[in-house]
Amino acid sequence: MEELLGPDLAARLDRLDVISRKIFAGKLPGERRSKRRGRSVEFDDYREYVPGDDLRHIDWNVYARLDRFFIKLFREEEDLAVHILLDASASMDAGGGDGVPSKLVFAQRLAMAVAYVALVNQNRVCLSIVGARGRPAVQRLAPVRGRRGLERAGRFLLDHTHPSPGASVGGGPAGLNDALRQIAMTRVGAGVMIVLSDFLVREDISRGLNYLAAGSGPGVGGSFDTYCIQILSPGEMDPAAERKRGLIGDLRLTDAETGAGAEVTISPALIRRYRRRLDALCERLHRACAARRMTHLLVRSDTDIASMVLDQLRQRRLFG
């Protein structure tokens, strides 16, 4: 826990709760105030009686005054499923050094912060890790709930995101689309979905997003409330800053996920071309998310976690 979060940040996160922009059916009683009206001790509103309503909910005091039947409505308390998908593919284990965490370490810390907020508010947390070399394509932690689940969530994030011993470099792409399909089809209740990845994949990620946006039957909200948080390192966003590390001149670069190599000459023209392609990739992801009513957020891996959670994610209405 302290490796990922620390007591100071945890204390500040205690004031937050996860917000859902959609209506989902919870599995267990929780502390979240649902948008659905149901049965609880917290009064919400009145409506006129219609045949078939439960007579026990008639407000007889109102009837005595108005000579009309009104039904009392209550806010229903239910838990919210919070799904966190962390991309642990080889490309995520880059960008670290000089006091800056790698993309993977940043994603681990952010995942733990989100899990902490959800768990202390009695919501269910479902953690999945995809793409770690030498491990199953999708690793899942059974849903946890409450503060007792914090240790299990933290240990899962620390133990299952790194390659298994003896795993070869260039073990193949993570297959993010297939991972999203598996998670969408085997989900434990719809809910809020947070995808933490650099989204540096050759495949069209729109296909994977379609699985998260697809309808899931009546009464459960129809889809996930999805946040795609794209994590890039400072060097990926500004390659010119990597000259101090030797990214200059004639080089042979190796794809960390496929093992494929390429001979390149680092020049101002090549960096400009790279920036155009990166901007185009990020814009495609942003448009794909917007078309599916998902939230896309681009963040650098040197961003302060406290600022990310308390400011940016609150502004995007993930937390309140």
- With a CB cutoff of 8 Å and minimum separation 6, the contacts of 8 are none
On whether residue 238 sits in a domain, the answer given is yes
Q: Does residue 67 sit in the same domain as residue 85?
A: no
Q: Is 27 among the domain residues?
A: no
Q: Does residue 278 form part of some domain?
A: yes
Evaluate whether residue 120 is within a structural domain: yes
Assess whether 209 and 251 both reside in one domain: yes
Q: Is residue 222 part of a domain?
A: yes
Clarify whether residues 254 and 277 are in a common domain.
yes
Q: Are residues 308 and 227 in the same domain?
A: yes
pLDDT tens for each residue of 177-207: 888 888 888 756 678 999 999 999 888 899 9
Residues 105, 62, single domain; the answer is: no
DSSP letter at 312 equals I
**Same domain, residue pair 235 and 280:** yes
What gap in Å lies between CA 45 and CA 143, rounded to an integer? 34
Q: Looking at the structure, tell me whether residues 217 and 169 fall in a common domain.
A: yes
3-state secondary structure 28-39: CCCCEEEEEEEE
Alpha-carbon span 28 to 188, nearest angstrom: 12
Mind listing the pLDDT tens digit for each residue in 33-81?
444 444 444 566 777 887 767 787 788 988 898 998 988 766 545 567 8
More confident call, 313 vs 217: 313
In-domain check, residue 320: no
Task: Provide the residue range defining the domain that includes 117.
Answer: 7-16+79-315
Residues 59 and 161 in one domain: no
* Same domain? 68 vs 88: no
CATH number of the domain residue 242 falls in: 3.40.50.410
Q: In three state form, how does the secondary structure of 73-112 look?
A: EEEEEECCEEEEEEECCHHHCCCCECCECCHHHHHHHHHH
**Mean of the per-residue pLDDT values for the chain?**
83
Q: What is the DSSP letter of 57?
A: G
Is the same domain home to 47 and 112? no
Are 226 and 293 found together in one domain? yes
SS3 call for 195: strand
Residue 24 counted as domain residue: no
What total number of domains does the chain contain?
Answer: 2
pTM over 0.85? The answer is no
Measured distance CA(281)–CA(262) in Å, rounded = 20
Q: What is the mean pLDDT of residues 224-241?
A: 91
Do the domain assignments include residue 130? Answer: yes
Element (H, E) at 221: none
Q: Both 243 and 302 in a single domain? A: yes
